[in-house]
Amino acid sequence: MVGFTPNLSHMGIYVRDLAAMEAFYTGVMGLTVTDRGQGIKFPVDYVFMSADPAKHHQIVMCSGRPPNVQFSTVFQMSFRVPDVTALRKMYDLAARLGLADLQPIDHGNALSIYFRDPEGNMIEVYMDTDHYVPQPHYHPIDFSLTDQEILDRANAHALSDAAREPRETWEERMAVIMGARA
Neighbours of 13 (CB within 10 A): 17
Separation of alpha carbons 92 and 66, rounded Å = 32
pLDDT confidence of residue 12: 84
Binned at pLDDT 50, 70 and 90, residue 180 comes out as low
pLDDT confidence of residue 6: 52
Does CATH number 3.20.20.70 belong to domain 72-182? no
Binned at pLDDT 50, 70 and 90, residue 145 comes out as very high
Per-residue DSSP letters for 73-123?
A: S---EEEE-SSHHHHHHHHHHHHHHT-TT-EEEE-SSEEEEEEE-TTS-EE
pLDDT confidence of residue 153: 97
Could you tell me the residue ranges of all domains in the chain?
1-65, 72-182
Mean pLDDT of all residues in 129-155: 94
Mean pLDDT of the chain: 87
Closest CA to 29 of 51, 12, 9: 51
What are the pLDDT digits (tens) for 2-16? 454 556 668 888 898
Hey, do 1-65 and 72-182 end up sharing a CATH topology, with the first three levels equal?
Answer: no
The fraction of the chain above a pLDDT of 70, given in percent, is: 91
As a residue count, the chain comes to 182
What are the pLDDT digits (tens) for 18-71? 999 999 999 999 889 988 888 877 788 999 888 887 787 889 899 988 888 777
Residues facing residue 145 across a β-bridge: none
CATH among 3.20.20.150, 3.40.190.10, 3.10.180.10, 3.40.50.300 for 1-65? 3.10.180.10
Residue 138 CB-density burial (10 A; 0-12 exposed, 13-18 middle, 19+ buried):
exposed
Residues facing residue 38 across a β-bridge: 45
Task: Record the pTM.
Answer: 0.78
